Amino acid sequence: MKPKGTEDVALIKSGAVIGYLLSLLFLLSIAITASCGGSGYGGGGGGGYGAPQPMQGASFYVDAANGFDLLYYGTSSMPFKTITYALSVVGQNQTIIVGPGTYNIANGEMFPLMLRPGQILIGDEATKGAVTLIVGSGPMALTGGFDSATIMGAEGSRISGFQIG
């Protein structure tokens, strides 16, 4: 038979252990966040759990047939699948090179395509877009009498090497 009151001591000891373990987990999470270089919410050096920050680099690539819309893709060997995704994750003043193919709703595009300031979208300039097509349109705020568009540019953005329909 246990002495009276020992159940309370066991509960206090187990509660203290749980509190100690939770404190260690909290400190570990702070250390991991700091080592990732982020604030814990997608800021700073890119660590964290929030929305991804715009990617920066030399050029990014899109290929309708062989790409995947995953963060940290976008290289020539691992391209994005859609122009829509590339435009959403690539930062301002960056170049996006688009491979031959048809870029439409069936491929996963969402219209209108929205360029950020300074973004450059390059298709097949040599054939003036004979094999690189952007097909579709989407609703936009009524501007200049238009209520739908395929592409919306921004200050300093440019597009070349596509047939648009």
Residue range 2-31, pLDDT digits in tens: 566 555 555 455 555 555 555 544 444 444
Token pair belonging to 72:
């940290």
Which residues pair with residue 114 across a beta bridge? Answer: 152
pLDDT (tens digit per residue) in 64-93: 999 999 988 999 999 999 999 999 999 999
> At which residue do the structure tokens 């050096």 appear?
45
Do 143 and 152 contact (CB within 8 A), yes or no? no
CA atoms within 13 A of residue 152's CA, in its CB half-sphere: 19
Q: What are phi and psi of 18, to 5 degrees?
A: -60, -45
Domain boundaries, the chain: 1-52, 59-164
Q: What is the pLDDT of residue 48?
A: 44
Whether pTM > 0.85 for this model: the answer is no
- The pairing of strands 132-134 and 120-122 is unpaired
